[in-house]
Structure 1
Amino acid sequence: MSSKKETAIEQDDNLNEIESLDREFVFGTWSYQSEVSPTQIVRAEGVRFTDAAGNECIDLSGQLMCSNLGHSAEAVAEAIASQAREGAYFAPGFTTEARARLGEKLAEVTPGNLSKTFFSTSGTEAVEAAIKIARFYTGKQKIVSRYRSYHGATYGSISATGDPRRLMAEPGIPGMIKAPDPYAYGSTLEPMQSLDYIEEMLMLEGDTVAAILVEPIVGSNGILVPPDEYLPRLKELAHEHGALLICDEVMSGFGRTGEWFGCDVFDVTPDIVTMAKGLTGAYAPLGATIVTDEIAAHFEDEMFCHGHTYSGHPVAVAAGLAAIEAYQEDDLIDHAREVGSYLGERLVELETDHPSVGDTRGVGLFRGIELTKRKDEREPFGRREHKISKGSTTVDEVAAEAYEQGAYVANMINTLIIAPPLTITEAEIDEAVDALDAALDVSDAAMDA
C-alpha cells in the first residue's frame, strides 16, 4: 500500500511544486476547486510584488483592497516582531500598552463621538459584533442591509450580505431584510428613490428594526458612490424609526477614500463602525467594532455578552497601532486624496479611449471601471450569477491580460476594482494605467457588433 494519500486532483503542468502542493492540500476560497490555480508570490516591495515565474506587477487592487500601506511598512513589521518577542499572546482579560493605545487612537481618528472598541480578527467578525451590539442595545432583532453588499462570510454577516455568494449559505440567521442600493447604472430606481423605498420598509416593519447596515461606498459589488445627501438622510431615517446606523468600513476605511473613513466623505458619524483590512494594512489579521459614547454607556450596567479568544491579540493590535502611526506620520490620507484625484482623471481617459468602458466611478484611491458590451444600453459582460457559476467572463480575461501587462487588478462581477496602496505615486499610476489601456483592448474586441 502506498504511504502517500491518494488524490483525485489531476496535476497541472503549469503549476510549480509549491503551487501544486497548495492546490492539493488547501481550499481555494469562493471557488469550484477544479478551477483553482494558485500563484506563488516570492517577493513584494512598495506597490509591487513578484511571482515565482518572475512576473512583477503593480498591486493595483492592494491585494483584496487591504494592503493600504503597500509591502514595505517596516515600522509595522518591526512592531509585530517586537510584540511577539515581548509577549505573543495574553487572554483578553489582560491588556497591553498597544491595545490600550490603539483603542485611544481609534477614538481619535474616527468621526464624532465614536469612542469604545471591541477587537476581533477580521471584518466579518467585526460585523458580527456590530449586529449583536445593535440587538443588545435596542432590544430589537431586524437588520436592514442592501442587495449589492458584502459584509463577510460567517453566518450573521453572510446573512446580511446581498452579494449572490450568500445564496449557498441560506437560510441564514433570522431578521435580515434586504433593501435596494443607490446604483443608477444597474437599478430601476434612481439613487435617492432607493431611500424612499427604505423609508417605506421601516414604516411597514414597525418598531422592530435594530439597525441599518451599509457600506458608505459599496466595495466588492461595484464601487458604488451614493449622492452626497444619501448617507446623512439614511441616518436620519434610521433614527426616526428607532434604529441605529452601522457603517461597514472594512474596505473603505483608513485613507482609501482620501479621508480616514468613507463616512467622512459625507460628514456622517454612524452609531457603530466596523473596520479591518487597512486597520493593519493587512500586516496582521485584526478587526474592530467601535461604538458611540451612548452605546458604550449602555453596557456599564448591561452585560456585553460577546468575546473571542483572540480579541485584542497583542501582536495584531501592535500592528494596528503602528499602521495608524504610519498613516499619520507619512501624511498618507492627504496623499491618497491628491493622487486619487489624478487616478480618477486617468481612468476617465480610459473611458474616453475604450468603448467597452461603460462607467468609471469612485473616490480617492477607491475606484471602479465597469465594462459594457453595448455602450448605448450599458449591457454588462458579467452578471451577478457569474459570481457563483463556473467558467470565466470577459471581465476575468481583461484582468488576466492586465496581469500579463504588469498590473494586478481584482474584478468583481462586471467591475475592475482599483484600490492600490496609499503610497502609490503618479508615475506608478501612469504605469498601471498603461497596462489597463492594453488590457481593455480585450473587452473592446468582445463587444457586440
Structure 2
Amino acid sequence: MSGQESVAGSDLNEIEQMDKKHVFGTWSFQSEVSPTQVTTASGYTFSDASGNEFIDFSGQLMCSNLGHSAERIEDAVATQVKESAYVAPSYTTEARAKLGKKLAEVTPGNLSKTFFSTSGTEAVEAAIKIARFYTGKQKIISRYRSYHGATYGSISVTGDPRRLASEPGIPGTIKAPDPYAYGSSLDPMQSLDYIEEMLELEGGTVAAILVEPIVGSNGILVPPDEYLPRLKRIAHEHGALLICDEVMSGFGRTGNWFGCDVFDVEPDIMTMAKGLTGAYQPLGATIVNETIADHFEDNMLCHGHTYSGHPVAVAAGLAAIETYQQEDLINRAKERGEYLETQLADLAADHPSVGDTRGVGLFHGIELTRSSEERVPFGTREDKISKGGTIVDDVAKEAYENGVYVANMINTLIIAPPLTITEREIDAAIAALDTALETSDAAMDGVSETTEE
C-alpha cells in the first residue's frame, strides 16, 4: 500500500466505485483497493474530486520529474497528434530521429543507438535480449533488493518479493546481494566481492550484470563511490556486460542526467523510462554502446513492438529533454537536493523512529525503525505481498491527510518530488512529515501511551 490509499470500503464517489468494479488495481488484493479520483494537477501539486490539494512529494510513482505543467511537452503532444498520431516502426518521424540523437548526446560515453518501447519493464526486456544476442550467453546476474519490471523477463531479474508469485520465471537469472549498509549482513564492498566470486564460479557463462545504480523502490540504496566502477571492471574481466537500469534514477533525479553519472561510469547498455517523458506519455528506451550497435548490422535484432517509437510518445520525450536543458533543471535538482538533504537530516534528528536517511539530489529515502539501537524495521519484505497495512503505511497516510503525498515501499518513505519544486514546498512537505512521523515514534518498541504522555 501507499499513502494515497484510503481504507477499502470507505465512501467512494461514482467514478471511484466504477473504477473499483471494472478496473484491476495493480500489485493489490482487490478487496483492499480503494481508488482516489484525481481531477486536476498543476506544477508540483494535484487535487482529488473533493477539492483537496496535495504536494506531490514522490512525483507520483517517481516519474513526474517535470511536474504537472510542462507546457513544451503539452504542445509537442498536441502538434504530433495532428501531424501523425501513429506510423509503423518501419517508418520514422522527425521526433523519433531527433530523440535518438538527443539520447546519444545526454547519455554517458559512446552510448549511441536506442530501441524505443512503451515502459521501463519493456526497456529491461529489450536489454536482456540484446545482452544475450550480443554475448551468446544466457545468464543474467541481478540483485535481491531490486525492481526491474512486471513482464516475465523483467520480473525474473527483479529481487523484490513481488517476483515470487511469478516464479520460476525465465531461466538463467541469478540473484546477488546488495550494497545495503543499513540492513545487510554484508558490508557494501563485501557484497561486490560476493558478485565477483559468483562470476568466477559461473565460469564465463554470464551475459550481463543488471543493476540500478541507485536502488529505487527497494530503499533508495546509494553504493560507495568505488562500487559501480569496480562492478563494471569485474564484469568485463569475466566477459559480461554492465546494464544500468535508469528507469527511476534517470533524467535529473539525482542532480545528474543519470544515476551512473554520479559514479562516472558508462554502462554497456542503459534502460530508461519515467523521466524520459516526465510521465506525459508512456515511453521506454534501451540504449547501447557503438560496439553492440555495430554487432546488429549483420546480426538480426530479433525484437520489436507495434508501438516502438510511437510518434506521440517520442515527441513528448524530445520535448522533455529540451525542457531539462533549457530550464537547467539538472543543476536545479542538485541545488534543491542539497537543501532537501539538510532538511531531512534535521527531521531525522527529531524522530527516533527514523533509522536512516539516504539519497542523492531529489532522490531520497527515509527508512524507519522500531528500535534505533537494533534497527528493527516496521515493514518487512513479506508485508509487500501480504494483506493489511503497516506502521509505514500509517505514516504515509498521516502525511497525506496533511496535504502531502509520499510513496512508501516496504520500510522506506520515498522522496522524489518534481525537479521544479521550490524550497517553500519542500518546507511544507517536511512539516507534514514531521507530524506524520509522530505515528512511528509512538509505535517504537518500549514506547507506551503512558511514556508518551
Length-normalised TM-score, structure 2 = 0.96
Structure 2 Cα separation of the partners of residues 288 and 196 of structure 1: 31
* 8 Å CA contact retained: 1:12, 1:20: no
Structure 2 Cα separation of the partners of residues 53 and 254 of structure 1: 33
Q: 1:165 aligns with which of 162, 180, 184?
A: 162
The aligned residue for residue 301 of structure 2 is 304
Letter in 2 for 1:306: H
Q: 1:122 aligns with which of 114, 119, 122?
A: 119
The aligned residue for residue 238 of structure 1 is 235
Q: Secondary structure at the match of 1:181?
A: coil
Q: Secondary structure at the match of 1:373?
A: coil
Letter in 1 for 2:392: V
The aligned residue for residue 322 of structure 1 is 319
Letter in 2 for 1:424: I
Structure 2 Cα separation of the partners of residues 66 and 20 of structure 1: 26
1:29-428 → structure 2 map (5 Å cutoff): 29-428=26-425
Q: Secondary structure at the match of 1:431?
A: helix
Deviation at 1:13, TM superposition (A): 4.9
The aligned residue for residue 23 of structure 1 is 20
Structure 2 Cα separation of the partners of residues 43 and 438 of structure 1: 26
The aligned residue for residue 442 of structure 2 is 445
The aligned residue for residue 449 of structure 2 is none
Q: Which whole-Å deviations, capped at 9, do the CAs of 1:84-116 have from their partners, x for residues lacking one?
A: 010000000000000000000000000000000
Structure 1 Cα separation of the partners of residues 172 and 10 of structure 2: 48
Q: Secondary structure at the match of 2:244?
A: strand
Q: Secondary structure at the match of 1:206?
A: coil
Q: Secondary structure at the match of 1:360?
A: strand
Q: Secondary structure at the match of 1:436?
A: helix
Instruction: Give the ranges of 4+ consecutive aligned residues of structure 1 lying more than 2 Å apart after TM superposition.
Output: none
Structure 1 Cα separation of the partners of residues 120 and 63 of structure 2: 11
Letter in 1 for 2:346: E
Letter in 2 for 1:156: G
Length-normalised TM-score, structure 1 = 0.97
Letter in 1 for 2:61: L
Q: Secondary structure at the match of 2:90?
A: coil
Deviation at 1:178, TM superposition (A): 0.2
Q: Secondary structure at the match of 1:199?
A: helix
What stretches of structure 2 of length at least 5 have no aligned partner? 1-7, 447-453
Letter in 1 for 2:59: G
Structure 2 Cα separation of the partners of residues 379 and 362 of structure 1: 20
Structure 1 Cα separation of the partners of residues 394 and 143 of structure 2: 29
Structure 1 Cα separation of the partners of residues 39 and 437 of structure 2: 28
Letter in 2 for 1:243: A
Deviation at 1:207, TM superposition (A): 1.1
Structure 1 Cα separation of the partners of residues 181 and 50 of structure 2: 42
Structure 2 Cα separation of the partners of residues 130 and 357 of structure 1: 37
Q: Which whole-Å deviations, capped at 9, do the CAs of 1:374-430 have from their partners, x for residues lacking one?
A: 011011000000000000000000000000111100000000000000000111100
Q: Which whole-Å deviations, capped at 9, do the CAs of 1:326-359 have from their partners, x for residues lacking one?
A: 0000000000000001001100011100000000
Q: Secondary structure at the match of 1:322?
A: helix
Structure 2 Cα separation of the partners of residues 254 and 330 of structure 1: 13
Structure 2 Cα separation of the partners of residues 422 and 352 of structure 1: 25
Letter in 2 for 1:288: A
The aligned residue for residue 450 of structure 2 is none
Deviation at 1:12, TM superposition (A): 3.6
The aligned residue for residue 7 of structure 1 is none
What stretches of structure 1 of length at least 5 have no aligned partner? 1-10
Structure 2 Cα separation of the partners of residues 90 and 345 of structure 1: 48
Q: Which whole-Å deviations, capped at 9, do the CAs of 1:35-70 have from their partners, x for residues lacking one?
A: 000000011110000111221110000000000000
Letter in 1 for 2:393: D
Deviation at 1:186, TM superposition (A): 0.9
Deviation at 1:14, TM superposition (A): 1.1
Structure 2 Cα separation of the partners of residues 156 and 13 of structure 1: 37
Letter in 1 for 2:289: T
Letter in 2 for 1:404: E
Q: Which whole-Å deviations, capped at 9, do the CAs of 1:418-447 have from their partners, x for residues lacking one?
A: 000000011110011001101001101111
Q: Secondary structure at the match of 1:184?
A: coil
